[in-house]
């Protein structure tokens, strides 16, 4: 049995994982999904990581799963607490000392038209679920986006990257390049939009379980 620590993206919440959690628990695993303090003007990146670490407590066999902007948080958790695996799901990959606000420029991200967020992020999510997701969005305070990422390098933890082939925000060609340049690995791929935990929870659970190390 593994413990999956599920870290949502920018402006998201623990609710984002509410379909994935029963899939993983039904397979005998434990899950921990928390609301990062994204609205707290005093909270920095290490505070975000501490929120996850405190929620995990003394659970063992930890797998950290970071989605989208949560990519700035997942490695911090792994640097401060033993983890068996880090899985980045269509996530931002930080560089040492990089401010999250600068990531877009540093990676050459092609900014998108945000007039249709459902079409951009959730185009394959059932309509009612996508609409509910929009009502649950939270504002993101500036501090955690403006401070440098505090690690000197990537944590010493096995890392997998899962990109979404139909992602209109972090498009596949863009993410393949960023993953190669920043992690030096070839990403795995899954069908679907930027939110596979809402669009394809069973398939995502299959992938996550398939990443687990084989135990004697």
Q: What is the pLDDT of residues 3-21, one digit of tens each?
A: 999 999 999 999 999 999 9
Q: How far is CA 186 from the centre of its chain?
A: 17
Six token digits for residue 153: 């390098």
Measured in whole angstroms, the distance separating CA 154 from the mean position of its chain's CA atoms is: 16
The whole-number pLDDT of residue 204 equals 98
Residue-range domain boundaries for the chain: 3-210
What pLDDT, in 10s, does the model give residues 48-59? Answer: 999 999 999 999
CA distance 193 to 200: 9
Q: Across the chain, where does the E strand assignment appear?
A: 3-7, 30-33, 62-67, 85-89, 159-164, 188-190
Whether the pLDDT of residue 84 is over 70: the answer is yes
Residue 213: other Cβ atoms inside 10 A:
10
3-210: CATH topology is Rossmann fold (3.40.50)
| 58, 86 Cβ separation under 8 angstroms | no
pLDDT of residue 213: 77
Q: Please give the radius of gyration of the chain, using alpha carbons only, rounded to the nearest integer.
A: 16
CA pair distance 49, 3, nearest whole angstrom = 16
State phi, psi for 59 to the nearest 5 degrees: -60, 150
Residues 86-113: tens digit of each pLDDT: 999 999 999 999 999 999 999 999 988 8
Average pLDDT, the chain: 96
pLDDT band at 47 (very low <50, low <70, confident <90, very high): very high
- Calpha distance 178→186 (Å, rounded): 10
> In the structure, what pLDDT confidence band is assigned to residue 216 with cuts at 50, 70 and 90?
low
């Amino acid at each position: 049995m593994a413990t999956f620590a599920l870290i949502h993206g920018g402006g998201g919440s623990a609710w984002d994982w509410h379909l994935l959690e029963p899939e993983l628990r039904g397979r005998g695993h434990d899950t921990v999904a928390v609301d990062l303090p994204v609205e707290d003007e005093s909270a920095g990146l290490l505070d975000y990581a501490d929120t996850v670490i405190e929620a995990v407590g003394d659970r063992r066999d930890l797998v950290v799963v970071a989605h989208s902007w949560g990519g700035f948080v997942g490695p911090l958790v792994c640097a401060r607490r033993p983890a068996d695996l880090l899985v980045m799901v269509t996530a931002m990959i930080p560089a040492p000392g990089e401010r999250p606000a600068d990531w877009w420029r540093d990676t050459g991200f092609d900014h998108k038209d945000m007039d249709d967020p459902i079409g951009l992020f959730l185009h394959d999510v059932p309509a009612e679920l996508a609409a509910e997701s929009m009502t649950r969005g939270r504002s993101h305070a500036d501090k955690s986006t403006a401070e440098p990422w505090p690690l000197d390098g990537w944590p010493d933890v096995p890392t997998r990257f899962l990109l979404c082939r139909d992602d209109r925000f972090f498009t596949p060609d863009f993410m393949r390049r960023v993953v190669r340049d920043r992690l030096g690995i070839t990403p795995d791929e899954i069908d679907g939009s930027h939110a596979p935990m809402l669009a394809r929870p069973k398939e995502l659970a299959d992938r996550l379980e398939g990443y687990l190390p084989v135990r004697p």
